[in-house]
Chain A
Amino acid sequence: MVSLALVAWPLQASAHSPIEGLGAFYGHLLHPVTVQSHAMLLTAVALMFGQQGRSKARAGVIALGLAFAGGLAAATTGASGTFSVSEPMFLLGALVVGGAVVLDLRVAAAVVVSVSVATGLIIGLGPAPATTGMRDKALGIGGVATGVLYLTIVITGFTISLQKHWQKIAVRVVGSWIFAVSMLVLAQTIAGPAKRVAAAAVGFLFG
């Protein structure tokens, strides 16, 4: 419930330390919660893990942690090159996984691991901790890693613990909210280019 409340009451999206004076560790610890699209994707993925049962959820969390570490390492060392993640990627991920939560889909372990790897990579490849000095950078990386894994593990564990019928339905309701928000914002993101393409097509055909 605390996690859901944090997602429901997000602060302004910020790639870096969201609250002045918190320091490198705590500032980055809050990163996955205060950046709405990250929080939404992580919540959807954790809910899906929880729906899959204990063993698949465990594999999913481990895969997500490893992929996140890999992505973070690539982003921090510059090994990712010119590749950069954008908000629509998170929204698309939240849309697909949120849809799976709504439908309460039971998928193979390989699918769970694939979703975990994709999620871990795009979150890890997100903006690297913007701190100066090796110490602060290490604290920032530690903070964001702790935040991502903590959020995922807590929501996954909580979802697994829900055994009553209405509780499982409540998980699907939250999934439907994530699906709805993702679809709306994604539609707005593509609305501009889509309208331009439509106008160009109309001009080409009838102009």
Chain B
Amino acid sequence: MIVGGGRIRALILLVNLIAGSTAGLCSCENPNSATLERGSLKWLNFGMMLARHWVIAIVLAGCLILLAVPAQAHTSEGVAGGFLSGFLHPILGYDHLVAMVAVGLWGAFLGTPAIWLLPIVFPTVMAIGGAIGILGIPMPAVDLLVAGSAVVLGACIALALRAPIWIAALLVGAFAIFHGHAHGSELPQAADPLAYAFGFVIATGLLHVSGIGLGLLSRYRAGEYGVRGLGVAIAVVGLTFLTGSV
């Protein structure tokens, strides 16, 4: 019997994923078994890699944490209360969120050393921008450039642009100053500035990690298309904010 249906193939994949073994695939007896074997094994390897890759597990856990909505029975501390409000600031500001994820995505896309360098450059330079914002030194078109960063980084991912590391670091660092300025301008209103700063720096880092985790999928052909698609989505979100702030 020819086994060519997508559902059956998915079922085989699922069963083998659960069993954690490829043994079941090798017993097919039909003219298309070799094709099926190759096709299924290809997808199976992909699935097994996904299932076993601890990075994916951590990223999924991170995403769940980021998606968790805090219980807010009492909101006495206001918008800029402490750790939680700092933590939520980059997550609830979607223009910040997509840009942070884009930094991780692009880093993963560029490979070593960018995958590690960009998430170090971003918070370090962001702090300088934050200090400028706290000191009340005005910077031009902050909102415009925060939104613009999502457009540019999203486009870089979508076009699979493999820029030299120094250009990537310079670009990400330049955008980080404006993101930091936007965060820093809100810090003086925080009830507990240290906890607030902790919150948004850690949230920023976790968003980068989420981006890196998703970006690792670009090692596979299908994953690369997915990541580039995410780049398009990020650019579109950025464009929406950009048109809103113009």
Q: Which of A149-177 contact B (CB under 8 A)?
A: 166, 169, 172-173, 176-177
* CB neighbours of A187 from chain B (8 A): 130-131, 134-135, 184
Question: Contact between A184 and B83 (Cβ–Cβ < 8 Å)?
Answer: no
Interface check B17, CB cutoff 8 A: no
Q: Among A173, A184, A186, which residue has its beta carbon within 8 angstroms of that of B205?
A: A173
Indicate whether B126 reaches chain A with its CB closer than 8 angstroms. yes
Please determine whether A181 and B201 come into contact, CB atoms closer than 8 angstroms: yes
Q: How far is the CB of A103 from chain B (nearest CB, A)?
A: 10
Q: When A102-B120, A191-B136 are in contact, do A180 and B197 touch as well, CB less than 8 Å?
A: yes
Given contacts A8-B202, A36-B194, A177-B205, contact A184 B187 (CB under 8 A): yes
Bound-complex Cα distance A172 to B115 (A) = 13
User: In the complex, are the beta carbons of A180 and B130 less than 8 A apart?
Assistant: yes
Q: Is the CB of A183 within 8 A of B130?
A: yes
Chain B residues within 8 Å of A12, by CB: 192
Q: Which of A13, A173, A184 contacts B127 (CB 8 A)?
A: A184
A185 → chain B closest CB, angstroms: 5
Q: How many A-B residue pairs have CB under 8 A?
A: 84
Main secondary structure of the interface of A (DSSP, over half): helix
Asked if A183 and B127 make an inter-chain contact with CB atoms under 8 angstroms apart, the answer reads yes
Most buried by B among A9, A102, A191: A191
**Which of A36, A102, A183, A195 is B195 in contact with, Cβ under 8 Å?**
A36
Q: Which of B135, B136, B201 contacts A180 (CB 8 A)?
A: B201
Q: CA separation between A36 and B202, bound complex, in Å?
A: 14
Which of B120, B192, B197, B202 touches A184 (beta carbons < 8 Å)?
B197
Whether, in the assembled complex, A188 has its beta carbon less than 8 Å from a beta carbon of chain B, the answer is: yes
Instruction: Please judge, given known A-B contacts A36-B194, A36-B195, whether A188 and B124 are in contact too, CB under 8 Å.
Output: no
Interface CB pairs A-B, < 8 A, 11: A10-B83, A173-B205, A176-B124, A180-B124, A180-B130, A180-B197, A185-B197, A187-B130, A187-B134, A188-B193, A190-B135
**Interface of B with A (CB < 8 Å)?**
83, 116, 119-120, 123-124, 126-128, 130-131, 134-136, 183-184, 187-188, 192-195, 197-198, 201-202, 205
State the 5 A-B residue pairs at the shortest beta-carbon distance, nearest first.
Answer: A187-B131, A180-B127, A183-B127, A169-B116, A187-B134
Which residues in A have some Cβ–Cβ distance to B below 8 Å? 8-10, 12-13, 36-37, 102, 166, 169, 172-173, 176-177, 179-181, 183-188, 190-191, 194-195
